Structure 1
Amino acid sequence: MSLQMQFVKCILCVILYIAVCFFLLKIKHSSYLIQYPVSLFLVKYNQTKQEYSVSQSNIKSINLEIELLEHDEMKGESINLQESATILQQISNVCMKYNLRTPLIKRHFLYNSEHKSMYCWIRKIASTSFTKLFADMKNRPPTRNYYKEVDSLTVRSLKELQLLSNNTKIFKLLVVRHPFQRLVSSYRDRIADNSKYTAQAWIYTEKIFRLTRPELFHSNITTGNFQQKVFTSDKRLKIVPTFEEFLVWLLQSSEKDDVHWTQYYSHCAVCNIRYNYVLKLDDYTYRQINYIFSKFGLDKNKVYFTTLGETQGGHTNFDTTCKYFANLTQDTVLKLHEKYKIDLEMYNYNVNYYMNCANKKF
């Protein structure tokens, strides 16, 4: 009987020991989750979404930005912490994956010292709205052309920009949209809209037609020379290149891209600047805009801010873009993917939807 009792006691001791060990491990694991919730989320995300592993040093590279996002969330400022942290981490991952180094270009950044805010403008991504906002923050007089305001709103020197880019007290904003939607928007506004003169139509139409319509350069007394055939006296287009013709030129051009269709990562030095927040224009909410206002130190009730994405020719959304892609081959879409693959990967933009648009009848 005593042997049976001793055996039972041994069994109970073993069970108790296992239970205590399990309990201690549970506490340790829980405390780890509490301390590093975002980092664990990001590791899990990248294990499923990326084809390469994320090193611990890479996770630490944006720890400060994540801490600032957590602080904002705790203050009650409306923000999707995981979504914001994921975008920042994805930018860091892609920079490391391709070993990218992107130069700082002073004129691409607007800065306000009083509001401790910095913003990189990208044409056709609400750049006019945000430039106007920075002009208002500096009490600049109203103007019809905010493109001319850039030089008065930027930093004084490249050295100052370098210092500010790493200053954790400066809120740094980046705004993006799907590169294909932006490309169509740029074509519609800067090439296809012949109700006005644009520098892009004046500069690039000749280069486009040299590839796609060389017959236009054959002059005679009846039709005149190329300029007379294609342009009006005030430099507006008589003959507009199609979107397909525009892409034929763009995909083979070896010259530096225009700011209306250059890649985001190089234009805004995303691998050299520690951005605090990335706004995706495709599906933004007013809560996100209000969050940006709060970081700019602005009262949302006293600021006039136009609806983002609206242009004179109408909003270029997925449906509009898909119609322009309907006349493209899938091979052309793949070439566009190759040209903008870093931007597409950085911000988790899908190209498959646009592949389905190619050669689709409307």
Structure 2
Amino acid sequence: MKLRFCKTPSIGWKFSILKKILLLCVCVLTLLTVTSRRIELIGYQQQEESQEPLFTKDDKKQTVNLTQASKLKGETEDVAQIMRKRINHMEQVCEKYGLDERGNDHLHQPDPWEYILNKEHKLIWCNIFKSSSTSWMYVFNVLAGYDPKFLNKTKMVPLQMARNKYGRPSLQELEDFIDDNETVSFLVARNPFERLVSGYRDKIQNSYPKSEHDLLRRTITAKYRNVKVPAKTFKLPKSMIPTFTEFVAYIVEDARRGISLDMHWTPVYKFCTPCQFKLNNIVLYDTQTQDTEYILKKAGIYDKIGGVMSLNPSKGVSSTQNTTSYHVAQLPRQLFYDLVQLYMIDFELFGFQLPEFDDYASYRDAMAYTHPMPTTNSNYGAPALTTPKNNLNIKRKPKRTNY
């Protein structure tokens, strides 16, 4: 029996096989890499196209796309009637306080400073801070020609961008457009206490280090606690952030002394002087979805804006009211009514019910065990405001934006 042996392959043949295998691996890896990059690019583009604009720094943003708003038959007409009732009510309150008359002081002179006028679409809006101002600034910036994707990514100040495009209207220019029957003019009204609490949380509790509001909160703490607050620390210790009671005491005392308040909590009747202009619409913060849709359609810009604008109703009306109640319930009785008096005209102008101390006190008692109120050794003794007339402070203008 003969044994047969296989011939040993040559070295060159081995290298040829190995070379083909390596080449095949390279091709497969290249194909996988290209496919992966393409999938990644498509996903990024889809994410970019579907990304909704962000309007506030609040956590857990909840947006409502206007294109999904209800379109019931007759809804536009119903909103138009509501708008007329709101304007009629405001005019009655303006007449009650004599704020619709012309005079030599600020409250009896129309002030166009905070208004933005889009001439192309005949759209006029008074920019009231902490009342959907970021959302509407977005609208006006889109109308000014800014690309929505750019607006969602840029770190530029939206108000500065808008002023760069629109400037500030003169009084004559603003009045001429408001008197035009085709012009849509409006402001956004929010419950004064909700607006104040929003301003406190944004600008006092969470102000940027070394900003104007950071210096303000240090001043408030030093004033009411009789302690030395480090003025140049990068971050103010949490224990030294003013409580809501201290904050309210500070602005109430400033109002009593005739000092202009910060634009984020200046009463609207001073900030926009709406009694001196013939506005034809009032958007309410709590009904802003339907109100905003109505404004956009009336101005003929719904198709241009509706697909890219989203509203941010914070965490919902109920949550906003709970947050407001938690803070307002901390106020002692006298300071509470001083605060009501400070914003009394705003409450009346826009049809909000005047708050009662006992309502908030019952909320405070019910929440005492689960949400302890902050306590400090503050001496907030802000002098009481005596009459509504003292609250008017008619000779002083509110602090204005610089751009």
The answer for the alignment partner of 1:140 in structure 2 is 146
Counterpart amino acid of residue 249 in structure 1: Y
Residue 324 of structure 1: CA displacement?
A: 0.6
The answer for the alignment partner of 1:23 in structure 2 is none
Residue 262 of structure 1: CA displacement?
A: 0.5
The answer for the alignment partner of 1:175 in structure 2 is 188
Secondary structure class of the residue paired with 1:275: coil
User: Scaled by the length of structure 2, what TM-score is found?
Assistant: 0.62
Supply the distance in 2 between the matched residues of 1:315 and 1:123 (Cα, whole angstroms).
21
Supply the distance in 1 between the matched residues of 2:129 and 2:313 (Cα, whole angstroms).
11
- Kept in 1, the 8 Å contact 2:218–2:241? The answer is no
Residue 122 of structure 1: CA displacement?
A: 0.4
Residue 269 of structure 1: CA displacement?
A: 1.6
User: Which structure is higher in helix share?
Assistant: 1
The answer for the alignment partner of 1:89 in structure 2 is 88
Cα deviation, 1:14-70, whole Å, max 9, x if unaligned, reads xxxxxxxxxxxxxxxxxxxxxxxxxxxxxxxxxxxxxxxxxxxxxxxxxxxxxxxxx
CA 1:190–1:303: 2 relative to 1, 3 Å:
same
Supply the distance in 2 between the matched residues of 1:83 and 1:341 (Cα, whole angstroms).
22
Supply the distance in 2 between the matched residues of 1:196 and 1:174 (Cα, whole angstroms).
31
User: Scaled by the length of structure 1, what TM-score is found?
Assistant: 0.68
Given candidates 298, 315, 324, the residue that maps to 1:295 is 298
Secondary structure class of the residue paired with 2:311: coil
- Kept in 2, the 8 Å contact 1:179–1:343? The answer is yes
The 5 Å alignment of 1:250-289 reads 250-253=251-254, 254=257, 255-284=259-288, 286-289=289-292
The answer for the alignment partner of 2:343 in structure 1 is 340
CA 1:315–1:113: 2 relative to 1, 3 Å:
farther
Counterpart amino acid of residue 116 in structure 2: L
- Kept in 2, the 8 Å contact 1:105–1:158? The answer is yes
Residue 105 (structure 1) aligned with residue 106 (structure 2): no
CA 1:354–1:138: 2 relative to 1, 3 Å:
farther
Residue 148 of structure 1: CA displacement?
A: 1.4
Supply the distance in 2 between the matched residues of 1:198 and 1:358 (Cα, whole angstroms).
34
Give ranges in structure 2 of 5+ residues lacking alignment: 1-72, 102-106, 368-403
The answer for the alignment partner of 1:212 in structure 2 is 224
Count of residues in Structure 1 that have an aligned counterpart in Structure 2? 273
The answer for the alignment partner of 1:69 in structure 2 is none
Counterpart amino acid of residue 78 in structure 2: I
Given candidates 173, 180, 192, the residue that maps to 2:205 is 192
Secondary structure class of the residue paired with 1:271: helix
Secondary structure class of the residue paired with 1:105: coil
Residue 118 of structure 1: CA displacement?
A: 0.4
- Kept in 2, the 8 Å contact 1:79–1:291? The answer is no
Supply the distance in 1 between the matched residues of 2:291 and 2:77 (Cα, whole angstroms).
7
Supply the distance in 1 between the matched residues of 2:275 and 2:320 (Cα, whole angstroms).
28
Residue 298 of structure 1: CA displacement?
A: 1.4
- Kept in 2, the 8 Å contact 1:131–1:149? The answer is no
- Kept in 2, the 8 Å contact 1:78–1:288? The answer is no
The 5 Å alignment of 1:296-315 reads 296-300=299-303, 302-310=306-314
Supply the distance in 2 between the matched residues of 1:211 and 1:316 (Cα, whole angstroms).
32
Supply the distance in 2 between the matched residues of 1:109 and 1:77 (Cα, whole angstroms).
25
- Kept in 2, the 8 Å contact 1:166–1:273? The answer is no
Counterpart amino acid of residue 291 in structure 1: Y
Supply the distance in 1 between the matched residues of 2:318 and 2:146 (Cα, whole angstroms).
28
Residue 198 of structure 1: CA displacement?
A: 4.0
CA 1:231–1:186: 2 relative to 1, 3 Å:
farther
When Rg is computed on C-alpha atoms for both structures, the one with the higher figure is 2
CA 1:81–1:307: 2 relative to 1, 3 Å:
closer
Supply the distance in 2 between the matched residues of 1:146 and 1:98 (Cα, whole angstroms).
35
Supply the distance in 2 between the matched residues of 1:316 and 1:126 (Cα, whole angstroms).
16
CA 1:355–1:293: 2 relative to 1, 3 Å:
farther
Give ranges in structure 1 of 5+ residues lacking alignment: 1-73, 217-225
Residue 289 of structure 1: CA displacement?
A: 2.0
Counterpart amino acid of residue 134 in structure 2: T
